[in-house]
Amino acid sequence: MAKTLESKVAIVTGSGRRKGLGEGILKAFAAEGAKLVVTDLGAPAEHMAAGDIGTTSEMEEIAADLRGMGAEVLTVAADIRDDAQVQTLINKTVEHFGKLDILVNNAGIGYIMKPMFELAADEWDAVLDVNLKGAFLCSKYAAMAMRDHGGRIINIASQAAKTGFPHMAPYTASKHGMVGLTRSNAVELGGFGITVNAVCPNHVTTGLGAKQNDYFSKLLGFDSVDDYLANMKRSNPMGRPGLASDTAAACVFLASEAANYITGEALNVSGGEEVH
């Protein structure tokens, strides 16, 4: 039986950190036969701690795991905030594989959490530059590589794209903006056979989620992180937080032929956390 993404070429941004959401998406794509590009910043930068960025060595470790699954893999260190580096990322992908079929805009930061009154302009810019400007630049140049044969652009947004959270104005604004970018690009790129959709996970148990657990358990007055997580589980209709595999499965679907008439959507993957 043919695999869902057999011979498709996919870039997943922000995919160089071990046990991160990007790695989960890469492995789900590898299991379905995709050829993959692992890309991340490669080294720490301002407002980005070492543990929050995929290093070049981690990228190679992840690539080795993917090759062990039978996937063909390219690694490219790139700063998605930089126009020239994004162009290089796309060009290297096309030069190596001959085409680009799928882009997953997964790279994001969300650990600048503080009251609005204490938030500095450069902190605001740091989040928007990665989460929204980076998604725009990657989408622009990926779409240029896809427009002759079609493709898929999948934006990893958040439940924060549909509601508000205290002390997270930059992150929330960036994810609302990502859904707006999704809808605008879906309309503009549909004529080229390119679908553009967003996935909106709830709280996913990765590195970023752990930082949010620590912060919000204290902000909301819980005795411990465990108490905070227990309350989160009780409030979710499915009784658990999200897993990287939940988001990855949604990405596989949206990248597949089964989703070729779905575009401009912001798909909740949240266990019913946000319902209408």
Positions marked catalytic: 171
CA distance 201 to 238: 14
What is the C-alpha separation between 179 and 185, in angstroms, rounded?
10
Cβ atoms of 205 and 241 within 8 Å: the answer is yes
- Bridge partners (DSSP) listed for residue 36: 10, 73
Instruction: Give the residue from 209, 205, 201, 216 showing the smallest Cα distance to 271.
Output: 201
**Helix extents (H) in the chain:** 21-31, 56-68, 83-97, 121-128, 134-146, 169-189, 207-219, 225-235, 244-255
Look-up of token digits 């996937």: 71
55 CB-near residues (< 8 Å, 6+ apart): 16, 40, 42, 43
Residue 118 neighbours by CB distance under 10 Å: 8
Q: 124: how many CB neighbours lie within 10 A of its CB?
A: 16
In angstroms, the first-to-last Cα distance of the chain is 38
Residue among 81, 101, 36, 88 at smallest CA distance from 63:
36
| Helices vs strands, H then E, count in the chain | 9, 7
